[in-house]
Amino acid sequence: MAFNFKDHPALAKKEVRLAIAHAIDRRFIVEKGYRGVGKTIDSVIPQGIPWAYNPNVPKYPFDVQKANALLNEAGYPRSGLGMRFPLRLTYEAGNDNSERPVEIIREQLKTVGIDVKLERVERSVMMNKVFQKYDFDLWFGALTTGDIRRWA
């Protein structure tokens, strides 16, 4: 998931981005969103690329209490309706690897008071919005380094 912290005041705060990381249960997403196929990793570089993999990257374990504390610290208390602020989560329509996980992310962020509106767009529209216009708050999509052994 990518953050547009250039154009969204809440996402510009490091505490908010850390809170989001702690509010998302990645194991649950693998189990339910991907039907148990896959595994969680802590880096965009997988262990299969040992020359680039760093096992010492920061870890953000699932911790709703910590997420709530970080959001409060960032200056975003819950409103009377229990929400703190809204975010748009943009993703590619029809991509099975996005459809279920974004629903889960929306529900998980709701538990810490972030009101996520899902923005399901066709691929070419998504590419333009996200990578050219930066017209998004959060983006969920697949990026991969692939398996380096294929290319060796």
pTM of the model: 0.88
Find out whether 12 and 5 touch, Cβ atoms under 8 Å. yes
- Residue pair 40/27 in contact by the 8 Å Cβ criterion: yes
Tokens of 67: 């997420």
Q: How many CA atoms lie within 13 A of 51 on its CB side?
A: 4
Whether the Cβ atoms of residue 8 and residue 116 lie closer than 8 Å to each other: no
Q: Which helix (H) or strand (E) holds 101?
A: helix 96-110
pLDDT in 10s for each residue of the chain, 152 residues: 999 998 899 999 999 999 999 999 999 999 998 888 878 888 878 888 889 889 999 999 999 999 999 999 999 999 999 999 999 999 999 888 899 999 999 999 999 999 999 999 999 999 999 999 999 999 998 766 655 444 44
Q: For tokens 């529900």, what's the residue?
A: 107
**Measured torsion, CA atoms of residues 126, 76, 60, 56, in degrees rounded to the nearest 10:** 90
Return d(Cα 85, Cα 33) in angstroms, integer: 25
